[in-house]
Structure 1
Amino acid sequence: MSGGLRFPTRLLAANLALAALLWAGFVVAIGLVTAGIAVFGEVSGSVWEPAAQLPRLYVLFTGVSLVREYLPMYIAHGQTRRQFGGQAAITLAVFAPVLAALMTAGYLLENGFHALAGWPQGLERPHLFTSTTQVPLIFSEYLIEFLAWAVAGALISAAFYRWEGGGLLTIPVGVALVLVAAGAAGSELRIPFVSRLMGLRVDLPPGLPLTFAAGFGVFLAGLALTWPIIRDVPLRNRRR
């Protein structure tokens, strides 16, 4: 391929390096927020837990940029749309578990921080896990959610890239993907318009096999919906 662009190696490595840097900064920020709460109030539980919405949005926009920024770049450098589609799916499939592992590590660091300071550690929201020491369940929940948020971002971005304003029609589909993943993981969807105004919630029966089946099913469904949009999408000139 011309221009020395290798996909997904370079793109994946760049995204993982950025994610690691952002995670380190996020850990420091949460530590400072926790210390501030302790100074001006009382630490009553996990601060990492409510802050997890920001990583979800980061994963969403990673999926968005994968199509909007890199699809035209890699096709212009000689890749076919089929090659890009397959390798983009691999990128998301690797990126999500790495981010889930970083989120899990954040809980473990917070556990140690709270233990040293003598602060309680607890959860306020429904989760697949009931304790911040349940590493496999913490990882599983964020893996399922991040796969859904990433593929939802890619789907919506692909639709906007191809149809511009027509991409609005895929936003409810993206929300539905995230809803099913949240229901599979037993967590709450933190999108104010959806959770408060619309009152939508998807509750699936408990059970880890069903959780994984629903979570990976959402990811595959998102990929299946995205591929018909990008398989013959024309390249657009960037607006200046």
Structure 2
Amino acid sequence: MRFPSRLLASQLFFAGLVWAAFYAVVTLITVGIAVFGTLTNSVWESATQVPRWFALFAGVAMIREFLPLYIAHGQTRRQFGAQAAVTVALYAPALSALLVLGYLLETLLYNVAGWPQELARPHLFASPTDVPLVFLEYLVEFLAWIVAGTFMAAAFYRWQGGGLLSIPLGIGLVVLGEAAIGTELRLPFIRFPLGVVSTPTVLTVLAGGVGCSLLGLAMTWSIIRDVPLRNRLA
């Protein structure tokens, strides 16, 4: 089995299918709000809270499903760790590009229908059409959520119930990534601003995202470097 090419291709194909279905649902909700209520804001902006969880569980699947599979087929743990890092580095920008596409398609719809596409929350970008900054914001966000997923999944795979202790650290990785872009963190029953005094520069945001992802991958590697394969039936 070749890795990460086949894994990455299958993950991207699945992400594309999920994005198409997700975009269709969001568009239906948008039209419904416009017909039965008053549409004043970008619905896609609110909907982008969901893909972060998709990124998290993509990171979980990389460890829980693919780590034992690829090691059982001849990969060493070191090879898997290095190639998993490559997959994260390519998968996060692909997800970010899909989010950018969603904003652009929504902009087209809003312009045709004459609806105002206002943003309800602070972002790096002032307009959904500011493609580079939209891409950068979600890139950093997805990097943080994916590595948080890999780290927590590695802890649960190795220590089972003991993996619960990894959750605060996983949340810390997410907070670090969100703080890099100065946005508002939204978790179940939790919502608080992480804004900075001044708008972060592109280099600061990018450095924060790369640093967060490297930290998360290093934490994951410290767990899986000598992890024994677990019987899936156990």
TM-score (normalizing by structure 1): 0.94
Question: Where does 1:96-135 land on structure 2 (aligned, <5 Å)?
Answer: 96-135=92-131
Is 2:26–2:43's contact at 8 Å kept on the other side of the alignment? yes
Identify the match of residue 57 of structure 1 among 33, 38, 53: 53
Tell whether 2:18 aligns with 1:22.
yes
Is 2:175–2:185's contact at 8 Å kept on the other side of the alignment? yes
Identify the match of residue 184 of structure 2 among 179, 188, 197: 188
Report what 1:152 is aligned to. 148
- Deviation, 1:200, is 7.4
SS at match of 1:190: strand
Tell whether 2:85 aligns with 1:89.
yes
- Deviation, 1:201, is 3.8
Report what 1:219 is aligned to. 213
Q: What is the CA–CA distance in structure 2 between the aligned matches of 1:201 and 1:27, rounded to whole Å?
A: 28
Tell me the alpha carbon deviations over residues 128-151 of structure 1, each in whole angstroms, 9 at most, x when there is no partner.
Answer: 111111100000000000000000
Q: Give the total of aligned pairs.
A: 233
Describe the shift of the 1:186–1:235 C-alpha distance in structure 2 as closer, same or farther (beyond 3 A). Answer: same
- Deviation, 1:49, is 0.4
TM-score (normalizing by structure 2): 0.96
Q: What is the CA–CA distance in structure 2 between the aligned matches of 1:142 and 1:81, rounded to whole Å?
A: 29
- Deviation, 1:239, is 2.5
Tell me the alpha carbon deviations over residues 167-189 of structure 1, each in whole angstroms, 9 at most, x when there is no partner.
Answer: 11111111111111111112111
Amino acid at match of 1:188: E
- Deviation, 1:202, is 6.4
The CA RMSD measured in Å over matched residues stands at: 1.4
Tell whether 2:185 aligns with 1:208.
no
**Structure 1: tracts of 5 or more residues without a match:** none
What percentage of residue pairs aligned between the two structures are identical? 58
**Structure 2: tracts of 5 or more residues without a match:** none
Runs of 4 or more above 4 Å deviation: none
